Amino acid sequence: MKNKIIAGNWKMNKTRAEAAALIEELLPLVADTPNTVIICVPFTDLDTALSLTAGSNIRVGAQNCHWKESGAYTGEIAPSMLKEMGVEYVVIGHSERRTYFGETDATVLARTKAALAAGLRPIVCIGETLAERQSGRMEEVLTRQVQEGFKDVTPDELKNIVVAYEPVWAIGTGVTATDEQANDAIKFVRGVFADKFGGKAAEELYIQYGGSMNDANAAGLLSMSDVDGGLIGGASLVAKKFAAIVHAHE
């Protein structure tokens, strides 16, 4: 089995002072893990995160980037701006962005391509809603999200991408997918990637689970054969909880 990639998605939380306190507490707690540790922080915390984690095993990510290199796009951030700062990862296509900010498979693809071109590693989120799962459309939705959202991605580019399977019904709800539900869905997604990119590329691809993962359920989820890591929201805002998830499967 691969080592895991454990990423915290702080969402719209933590001022600079709060970010510094959280990172200072986290650094010694995760220093000795073989797993990859990433914190995806608000834009305003990137500078703080980068300077406090310099020389450590914590990698830093942003939570979005635009697809253009520059221009009249008020409020947006270009991938090159992140890259120049030293940011390594960027979350793309989170369900909250799809739901509240009009993100589509096409914009996810455009942002992903631009992030890759700038030398960033995208963490691309996919996942079905409760209604889609209950109406038996989960596989159709996940297939579309992969086929459309990764349409122009090359096999070489895929090596620099992490995928996060986040069922929308499990995000921030306290309802976690069971170990088997997470594994089955990720296995299915891996099969769609295998159809598009070949079996070896799909095997090597990191696919995380996200949705109410916490210090109590992480060990079970991360022990599943196809779950290559976690994308953690709420529990990543508490150093001890996030550290416990980082160490849950080593």
Cβ proximity to ligand 13P, 123 vs 192, nearer residue: 123
- Inter-residue contact 13 to 237 (CB < 8 Å): yes
Choosing from 103, 105, 132, 166, the residue that interacts with ligand 13P (CB under 6 A) is 166
Q: Which of 230, 244, 241, 234 lies closest to 3 in space, CA to CA?
A: 230
Q: What letter would DSSP give residue 178? A: P
Shortest approach of ligand 13P to residue 158 CB, angstroms? 20
Cβ proximity to ligand 13P, 90 vs 232, nearer residue: 232
Binders of ligand 13P among residues 101 to 140 (CB under 6 A) are none
132, 156, 242 from 6: Cα distances, Å: 27, 23, 9
Q: What whole-number distance in Å separates Cα of residue 118 and Cα of residue 114?
A: 6
Cβ proximity to ligand 13P, 93 vs 197, nearer residue: 93
Catalytic annotation, pick one of 66, 128, 166, 249: 166
Q: What whole-number distance in Å separates Cα of residue 76 and Cα of residue 192?
A: 32
Beta strands in the chain (DSSP E): 5-9, 36-40, 58-62, 89-92, 121-126, 162-165, 206-210, 229-232
End-to-end CA distance of the chain: 10
Choosing from 9, 107, 143, 181, the residue that interacts with ligand 13P (CB under 6 A) is 9
Per CB under 6 A, does 172 bind ligand 13P?
Answer: yes
Binders of ligand 13P among residues 191 to 230 (CB under 6 A) are 210-213
Cβ proximity to ligand 13P, 79 vs 210, nearer residue: 210
Per CB under 6 A, does 171 bind ligand 13P?
Answer: yes
- Would residue 249 show up in a list of annotated catalytic residues for this protein? no
Binders of ligand 13P among residues 45 to 64 (CB under 6 A) are none
The residue whose Cβ lies closest to ligand 13P is 233
Cβ proximity to ligand 13P, 61 vs 210, nearer residue: 210
Per-residue tokens: 159: 């090596």
Q: Which of 173, 168, 164, 182 lies closest to 212 in space, CA to CA?
A: 173
Q: What angle do CA 124, 45, 56 make, to 5 degrees?
A: 80
- Would residue 94 show up in a list of annotated catalytic residues for this protein? yes
The site that binds ligand 13P (CB under 6 A) totals a number of residues, namely: 14
Torsion of CA 135, 140, 142, 145, to 10 degrees: -120
Per CB under 6 A, does 231 bind ligand 13P?
Answer: yes
Q: Which of the ranges 20-28, 101-109, 145-153, 166-174 carries the binding residues for ligand 13P, by CB under 6 A? A: 166-174
Binding-site ranges for ligand 13P (CB under 6 A):
9, 94, 166, 171-172, 210-213, 231-235
Catalytic residues: 94, 166
